[in-house]
Amino acid sequence: MDAVILYLPSPIKKNERYKCFEDSLCAKAFKVKYDKQKGPLAFFRLYNGVLNKGQKIYSIQQDGSEQVGKVYVAYADDLEEVQSMKAGNIAVVSGLKKVMSGDLVANSNVASQKAKKNLLHSAKKENIQDPDIEKLLGIGVTIPEPVFFCSIEPPSLASQAALEHALIELQREDPSLRVSFNTETGQTVLAGMGELHLEIIKDRILKEYKIEVDLGPLQIAYREAPINAVTDSLTVETKIGNSRQYVTTKLSLVPTDTGKKC
């Protein structure tokens, strides 16, 4: 606890960024969960303003408005419905179809644009050069590229629509899960962080959606990069008429910084 106090920033100081919204709503979705009775539930941290039942909210990342259904307070697995929630609390909201983990929401697009202007003005006072508004507000989540891939197939064509619906819901809950369609093979491809990750997805589809899917062979995306600089040359000689022609090609392969493509 002493290390937490000494080394980590104060939550009050961190949340000062969101004062640019003034009296307007500012909340961040940090989790999306599907409930069999209530449908998709979005968990929000309320940084500023008030979140009311039935109000319209604007997602800065999705660039669209949605209607809030009901507002709940979470007590472990129990949800207690309330009419509104103030800043500093965690709210559970139903009825949202587009909001994903990492989205920052406000009352409207006008309110978000005003907040961005206020933040730029305060950044100039703090002498922040070329401020990135999304980074300052903490919009979105940084997810590494998946390296494990496998195909997924339903037990029959009758289950195809149900599987597609399940994968859409799972992607909202887990942004690290990627789903794509391979036009060459005609297969749906899952991409995840590891073999265990994909096995858990398969197990959830079976237990929560009652679909006995089959996963294809696991494939791993390998990436290689040079460690040392290498230089080589090749000379090609040819005879045209009574004269000889020479062409020399020189190629160098130099490693770049770690994590960047060569």
Higher pLDDT, 223 or 22: 22
pLDDT band at 261 (very low <50, low <70, confident <90, very high): very low
The more confident residue out of 42 and 175 is: 42
Read off the pLDDT band of 258 (50, 70, 90): low
Q: State pLDDT tens for residues 66-84.
A: 999 999 999 988 999 999 9
Residue type, 11: P
Q: Are 41 and 35 in contact (CB under 8 A)?
A: yes
What rounded mean pLDDT belongs to the chain?
Answer: 88
Residue 75 vs residues 35, 79, 239: alpha-carbon distances, Å? 15, 6, 85
Check whether 15 has a pLDDT greater than 90.
no
Q: Give 111-138 pLDDT, tens digit per residue.
A: 999 998 988 888 777 777 667 777 778 7
Q: Which residues contact 149 (CB under 8 A, 6 or more apart)?
A: 189, 190, 191, 218, 219, 220, 221
**Average pLDDT, integer, range 186-202:** 93
What is residue 262's predicted lDDT score, i.e. its pLDDT? 39
Judge whether 47 and 69 are in contact, CB under 8 Å: no
Of 78, 80, 72, 88, nearest in space to 27 by CA = 88
Higher pLDDT, 14 or 224: 224
- The structural domains of the chain, ordered by start, are 2-113 (2.40.30.10), 148-220 (3.30.70.870)
- Which of the four pLDDT bands, split at 50, 70 and 90, describes residue 244? confident
